[in-house]
Amino acid sequence: MMRHFKPAIWALLVTFLTVPHADARTGCAVTLLSSVPLSNDALFLHIPIEIGLQKRDMIIDTGSEGSLITPKAADALHLPVDPHRRTVIHGPDGRSETVRNRIASDLRLGKLNYGAWSFPLSILPNLPKSLDGLSGLIGADMMQGLAVEFDAPHHRLRLWQYVPVAGGCDPVPPLGSAGTPHGSRWIKLAAHRRGLRLNVVFILDGVMGNALIDSGARSITLSRRFANHVGVSNQMLAKDRGGITSGVDLNARRYYWHRFNTLSFASDATEAEQPTLTLKAPVITVSDIDDDADMLLGADFITRHDVWVSFQTSSVFIR
């Protein structure tokens, strides 16, 4: 799992336009730009991409500000070194490292053409042997100006874009976009942007915090500092089951599985009549997180809900 990059921001190149889907409730047009298979292997979510017409698979990671490619994949694809760019990668423990970039020409995600893209080099630790072939990750930098729909039950990831109309519109997802019954209702969460990434508001056992939408994390992960703030001491955590893991920086971190009373997510203030999503007696992974967020909403959450993350409008919907 990556933490946030601080790379230069690249422009998104959209070279085609599909048939727009109009939402009768708002008059807001939304266009489907690409639809690709979404694979879930032990809560590692990955999608196919093309680099120079060669097919590869990468993790889809909304919790990382930047994308990356592994040295093994960059060498196999004969990607040239970018002489004009290096990238500072910040790991989960707060340490940083400056790495080289390699240039991928003709990068495509389904029908979406990004053109040339400069990828930092880094490895993907903690992958099972069956996923050794993953070539890197797609971060939030490649999702700017788009809405990303995670349709885990139907194994699809869709990239959408809102089209401005005269008089403005309320940018909401299409009712049937995830293959659910047409009347299925989305819940708009109270969301806000931090850098390139999106956070939502949660309430855990009566205490409010910020959760990062992080498809690169495998589980719902709570920071130890926030657990302490809720009243769960380090002595209490030491009695819980857990283990040791590491991130991109390969530094080991201990985690614990702790059972809380309730976890809920606040609706957007302008949609106060909507119900909130509440999880009863959730078992949540507690670990040290070097991030502005108090919690990471990872793949185990995303695979149990339809999730619509709009980086274009800084909004998040679930159902």
Q: How far apart are CA 156 and CA 140, in angstroms?
A: 18
Q: Let me know if 270 is exposed, middle or buried by CB neighbors in 10 A (0-12, 13-18, 19+).
A: exposed
Q: Does residue 84 contact residue 93 with C-beta atoms inside 8 Å? A: no
Give the domains, in start order, of the chain with CATH numbers: 20-163 (2.40.70.10), 187-318 (2.40.70.10)
pLDDT (tens digit per residue) in 5-18: 433 323 333 333 33
Alpha helices in 188-316 (DSSP H): 224-230, 234-237, 299-302
pLDDT at 76: 96
**Which residue stretches of the chain have pLDDT < 50?**
1-25, 27, 178-179, 181-183, 247-250, 271-272
Give which of 152, 160, 202 is closest to 179, Cα–Cα: 152
CB hemisphere CA count around 56 (13 angstroms): 25
User: Could you write out the DSSP letters of every residue in 188-249?
Assistant: EE-EEEETTEEEEEEEETTEEEEEEE-TTSSS-EEEHHHHHHHT--HHHHTTS-EEEEE-TT
For 5-43, letters b (16+ CB in 10 Å) and e give: bebeebebebeeeeeebebeeeebbbbbbbbbebbeeee
Q: How far apart are CA 1 and CA 125, in angstroms?
A: 8
pLDDT at 8: 32
